Each structure stands twice: as structure tokens, then as C-alpha cells.
Structure 1
Amino acid sequence: MSSSDRFAVPAGAVAQLRIIDTTTKLKGLPLDYLMTPPMPGMEVLPEAPTWSFLIESDIGRKALFDLGVPPNWRDFSPVVAKPLQTRGWGEPSGEKHVADILVDEGIDLSSINSIIWSHWHYDHIGDPSTFPASTELVVGPGFKEAFFPGWPARPDSPVRESDFKGREVREVSFKETNVLQIGQFRAFDFFGDGSFYLLDTPGHAIGHLAGLVRTTPNTFVMMGGDLCHHGGELRPSEMLPLPAEIFLPSLTQYPGCMCPGAELEAIQRKRSRAPNEPFFDPNIGFNIPETIRTIKKVQEADAWEHVFFIYAHDSTIRSIVDLFPALANDWKAKGWRQKAYWRFLEDFNGALKES
């Protein structure tokens, strides 16, 4: 069965998609904090961004998917802010609010109908109070029971009362009327026209959501949130095996040459991994076994040439994709997926040298 048969999406309208650089920079994250098994020569992950996505329906409804780290992150709930300042990895940074980025490009914030949090972690939630009260906040299953009414009314909550003040907070339960099945996922038709779906993707955090945007009648971008923190948690897979050869000039062991798949397979075997399973498993999350099950479901979509999967901290798309205010709808015609999908292998220079 082909990937397209496994991950069939019904016909629908096309939405406009823009990828926003939130100005978030995450530095010094230890590899073993996020994923396992170890990779020689890769003790720390490369500096990571957090992308926000602006989705607009053909009738003008606008939604933002994730907001990154805001400049005022030190005002987060103490259960979040204190560890960020004391863990010794380097503090996160966010130079601008997404709201300010939008205003700088002439977008009226009152035109933003919805903010969608893929999940509640500090590097995704931004500061909703920078948007007018008319902008609703959308969260995933179980969120309200776990975290409402927010800090300080609830001292242990990682989110703030100010995130919700004066605005509607809508929890998607995947029991609504606009719910269908796409691949192995429950999918909520957010605009009601088949242009943008929220996907139930549990495991990493309570209420974790992914998004699926129809960028042309037959192509899609999947916004993965924190389903993975590195392409090596998703690829290779049985449906998207490791290429025998791939041109990655920044691999210093093979300057200007084709990267040999055989040596990468040898690295997998040394780490007790099969050639066609991801290089890593997640090592952080609310329910890691559930996260791994969700990743396996995502691999069906990831292997389909008409889907471009972008996770929230995907550094591989830098310098490849056109960023806000430009549209990202023509990603397939511009070959972005082909250029980005195996770029994460550049992080394995140290392991290749050892091999």
C-alpha cells in the first residue's frame, strides 16, 4: 500500500500559508535530554528556531499555529521561568512578539481569529495578551482540566491567567461534528472547508496538536509541533528509507561528494538501530511510548511526496523556505522538501568521522 493510500485526504479548499520566524533561539540543549541513543560527536543540538504558521482561508479567516518564545518570558509562571534561568543550558531568547511581527507587515491584529497552541510548553505559547480579546485561543484535549485557570490562581500551572483573560478558550475534543479520519489520525476540519485540519497527536504533552494545511488542491504542509525535535526522530522509516546517496556538501568528511548511505547504516547498527528506523527515539515527553506510536503514524504522511512535514524547531528549512510575509504554498514546485528532508544528516559529522 502506497503512502497516498494510507494517508488519504478528502478534497477541499486551499488555504494560504506563511511561515513566520518568531525570532526564538534555543541554544545548548543536550542531546540526551531530548532523544536517545547517543550519537558520537553530537552532545548538543544545533541552535533551534521556533516557527509560527499563519493560515488564511479563502474567506479571510486567519489562524496562527504556535507563537514561540516571547521577549517577556521571565514573566512566565514560576514553575517555568525559574528552571529556564537556572538549568545552565543557556537561556532562551525571543526578540519580538509574533503580534509585533504581524503589525510590522501591516496586518491588523483584529483580523486574527484564532491562536492555536500545538501544546503548552514555554517555547510555543508566546504571549496571547498581545492580541485583542476577539482572538480566541484553541487548545487540545485535556488542557483545561490540567491547567485552568492558570497561574497565579493555580500555583502549579505552567500557563498564565493573562493568556486567557477576556478571550474565548476553545478546547478541541475531536468529538465535534467536523471530525473525520485522515490516515491514522482524528482530524478536525478547522475552517469547515477542508483547507486546514487539526490532528490529534498525543504523547509529547497533554493536548498536543499537529496541523495539516492544504497548500494546493493536492499538496499539504504538516505542522508537527514537538512530535519530534530533530529529523532523526522521524527518519528514516520503512516507508522513507535512507537514500543510498545524497548530496550534502557541508558534511566535512565528504566535501562536495555524495553522502554514502552505507556508512550511515553502519552508524545505525553500532547504535543497535535497524537501517530503516529513525536514528533516535524521543527521551522527553508526557507519555513517551504514546509519542513513539504517534511518530509511527506520522511516518505515513512524511513518506508521501505531496506532504512537507515541518516540526516547530526544524532548523533544516532555514535558507530554503520563503518566510513571512511570503507565501509557502508553492513549496513543491520550488523543491523545498527535497532540499530539506535529509539535511539533518549534516549533524552527524562527528559520527561519520569516527566510522
Structure 2
Amino acid sequence: MSVDYLLKPPVDKFDELNNLPTWSFLVESGQGRKVLFDLGIPKDLNVYPPTIVNDIKKHGWDIRVEKDIADILRENGLKPIDIQSVIWSHYHFDHIGDMSTFPDTTDLVVGPGFKQKFRSAYPTDPDAPVRESYWEGRQLREIDFGDRESPLKVGSLCAFDFFGDGSFYLLDAPGHAVGHLAGLVRTTKNPDTFLFMGGDLCHHGGEIRPSSHLPIPDRVDIPLQDALRTRLSCCPGGASFRRLNTRRGRKENEPFFESRLGANLTQVMETITKAQAADSQNSIFFIFAHDPTIRGVVDFYPAAANDWKRKGWREKTQWAFLRDLAPAAAAAAE
């Protein structure tokens, strides 16, 4: 995917976003209630309404999915009927999966404004990007973040206590799409640690980092791919990346990029600004929906993510996105 489809301003020698994943999260409460946050992409793209199938073809996106989330659950001893709710961070095709693979006992949870936007869906509206069958026969729950004068908040983000015990919050993260949600799940107690599921709050680490809360360190250790290693004698230091940012008209501790894709780009930036405070906390591990840097670092299902802090996942991935910018940073250092 072309970088300029998603991000601005450009960075020299960084033109393509390749091999983007789409992550789904299984969240289980202390009482055994199980929910999924996002479903990714289904293995059969023809389950989408025609407008989505045609859009994928128009862009020429090479999409490869071997298994539905329901298949992965079954292979690991969990049945789709065991899932109480599926939460869509938003309605875009790469997050909604195939709801027909889950029984009608599984609720579908969406963000504010979803029902109003999709009072008619496909096939009633032939151009709609979602099917009515996704929620027909099952409970469609739209999250209400409550009294806007005194809402429940996690940091600066309005929150909804999903299980009612403080272990899992849905977060109001507007901008990218109508009803866009993020999630914050408690992974340990004493000390308290959390995993922040960002959805499409951002599409690259350089949209949220660096920030006034989290400046680029002087020493930057990032994994360089073989092809990149042959072009660079060493990884550029923090000063080189800061210089790259300022030469592009950005501030040293301002994210490298702004989003070019969103229903309301002003809200996108406001949401990112609010999320930056959480992203800077050592007790929070932030993962956005298409984050490629966690590959080879995190343990995937059926392993648990609760022990992420002891395993150092945050430190190993936090600045890994800088490898995309390393050639330009090295040139800026010359």
C-alpha cells in the first residue's frame, strides 16, 4: 500500500507499507466471559457486499487470509458459541470479519452513531459497505459513553466499563470512522499493567510517536532487515531521527506523520493526542490494528499476553517503526 494513501508529509525512501497484518484480540474476564475485539479479514472475500469487493479490486490490494478467526478458535479448543460478544472497533472491511461464523447468541458491539449511519445496509442499500445479515437475529449493542458533562474517563478518553469490574474498558476514539472504538484491558494487578488496543487510531507508529510525553531517545536500537542492513553501516541515533523530523517541518517531539485517511481528520488528531499520554506510560502496551512491529516479539493465541511487561514487549517494539525511516535519517545525518 502506498504510504501517501495513509500518511503525510512524505519521508524520502519510504514509499510503501508492505505486508500489513490485521490483528484480532481475545479478551477473557476473571469470570470467564469471552469477547473478541475485531475480527480482521475473512478468508472468503465474497462474503462482503459488492461495493467492498469492487473497491479491493480497484485498489489492487493483495489480500491473503488462510483462516477465519472462528477457525483459529476451534483449532485451539474454543468454540464460536463460547464468544459472548464480538466488538468492532469500526465497520471497515478489514476489521469486521465474517459474523456468520458466530452463532446468534454472540452479540455484536459497535460504537456511537453506528445504528444511525446504518439504518439501511446491504442489500436494502446496494452501496452499503456492511450487510444487514451481520446483525440480523443477534443483539446489536451500541456503546453509550454516558453523560458528556461527567463521563467515565480513562485518562482523557471517555470510557465504558465493559465487564463492570474495571478489567476491560472500551474507549471513545472518534475520527477515523463513525463509532470508532479502542480498548484498554488490564493484564496484571499489583503491579497494574494494561494492553491498549488502538484499532485504526493510527496506521503507523510514526503517527503517534514521538510526542511531548515520549521523546525519541538518544540511543535507538531497532531491528534492521537484511536488505536495509547492507545499506547502513549502523542504525542512526536519536539525533538523526530528530533532525529528519525538523527538516520536514515537524517539531523534534512531534509525530513524524499526520493521517490522510479518516471521516474527520480533526478528530483523528485530537484522539491521537489523547492517546499519546497513555502510550508514554510504562504500564501500558499499545498495539494498533495493523502494527507489523509486534511480529516475532509477542506471543500469539493460544498463548496469553498478560506477561508482556516481564517479557519486554513494549521496549522491543516501541521504536521499531523507525526502521522504515532509517535510510532517510541516515541521509539527514550526513
Q: Please, what TM-score do these two structures have when normalized by structure 1?
A: 0.88
Residue among 118, 126, 131 paired with 2:97: 126
Letter in 1 for 2:208: L
| CA distance in structure 1 between the partners assigned to 2:236 and 2:297 by the alignment | 20
What SS class does the counterpart of residue 271 from structure 2 fall into? helix
Letter in 2 for 1:59: Q
Match of 2:67? Answer: 96
Task: Note the alpha carbon deviations across 1:49-105, whole angstroms, 9 max, x for none.
Answer: 0110000001111000000110122331122110111223x3322221100110011
Q: 1:124 to 1:249 in 2, by over 3 A?
A: closer
The equivalences for 1:9-158 within 5 A come to 29-88=1-60, 90-158=61-129
Q: Deviation of residue 185 (structure 1)?
A: 1.1
Is 1:236 the counterpart of 2:210 in the alignment? yes
Q: Which has the higher contact order (CA 8 A, sep 6+)?
A: 1
Letter in 2 for 1:56: E
167-176 or 121-130: bigger deviation: 167-176
| CA distance in structure 2 between the partners assigned to 1:47 and 1:91 by the alignment | 9
Match of 2:262? Answer: 285
What SS class does the counterpart of residue 79 from structure 1 fall into? helix
Q: What's the C-alpha RMSD, in Å, of the aligned pairs?
A: 1.7
What SS class does the counterpart of residue 220 from structure 2 fall into? strand
What SS class does the counterpart of residue 236 from structure 2 fall into? strand
Residue among 185, 188, 200 paired with 1:213: 185
| CA distance in structure 2 between the partners assigned to 1:162 and 1:95 by the alignment | 23
Q: Deviation of residue 199 (structure 1)?
A: 0.3
Aligned residues: 325
Q: Deviation of residue 269 (structure 1)?
A: 1.4
Match of 2:221? Answer: 247
Task: Note the alpha carbon deviations across 1:306-335, whole angstroms, 9 max, x for none.
Answer: 000000001000000000000000000100
Q: 1:249 to 1:86 in 2, by over 3 A?
A: closer
Contact 1:147 1:158 in 2 (8 A): no
Contact 2:168 2:183 in 1 (8 A): yes
Q: Deviation of residue 258 (structure 1)?
A: 5.4
What SS class does the counterpart of residue 295 from structure 1 fall into? helix
Q: Deviation of residue 249 (structure 1)?
A: 4.5
Letter in 2 for 1:295: I
What SS class does the counterpart of residue 93 from structure 1 fall into? coil
Match of 1:294? Answer: 271
- Mark the runs of 5 or more structure 2 residues left unpaired by the alignment: none
Match of 1:348? Answer: 325
| CA distance in structure 1 between the partners assigned to 2:304 and 2:165 by the alignment | 20
Letter in 2 for 1:54: L
Q: Deviation of residue 165 (structure 1)?
A: 2.1
Q: Deviation of residue 294 (structure 1)?
A: 0.4
More strand by share: 1
| CA distance in structure 1 between the partners assigned to 2:179 and 2:161 by the alignment | 17
| CA distance in structure 2 between the partners assigned to 1:153 and 1:193 by the alignment | 39
Contact 1:41 1:349 in 2 (8 A): no
The equivalences for 1:260-279 within 5 A come to 260-279=237-256
What SS class does the counterpart of residue 354 from structure 1 fall into? helix
| CA distance in structure 2 between the partners assigned to 1:262 and 1:108 by the alignment | 51
- Mark the runs of 5 or more structure 1 residues left unpaired by the alignment: 1-28
Match of 2:309? Answer: 332
Task: Note the alpha carbon deviations across 1:230-267, whole angstroms, 9 max, x for none.
Answer: 00000000000011111224163555x55311111111
Contact 2:45 2:53 in 1 (8 A): yes
Q: 1:91 to 1:249 in 2, by over 3 A?
A: closer
Q: Which runs of 4+ in 1 moved over 6 A?
A: none
What SS class does the counterpart of residue 192 from structure 1 fall into? coil
| CA distance in structure 1 between the partners assigned to 2:123 and 2:74 by the alignment | 30
Residue among 310, 314, 318 paired with 2:291: 314
| CA distance in structure 1 between the partners assigned to 2:35 and 2:179 by the alignment | 18
Q: Deviation of residue 135 (structure 1)?
A: 0.2
Contact 2:236 2:330 in 1 (8 A): no
Task: Note the alpha carbon deviations across 1:125-171, whole angstroms, 9 max, x for none.
Answer: 00011001100000000001101342001223210122112111100
Identity level (%):
52
Contact 2:107 2:140 in 1 (8 A): yes
Q: Please, what TM-score do these two structures have when normalized by structure 2?
A: 0.94
Residue among 256, 274, 280 paired with 1:303: 280
Contact 1:228 1:282 in 2 (8 A): yes
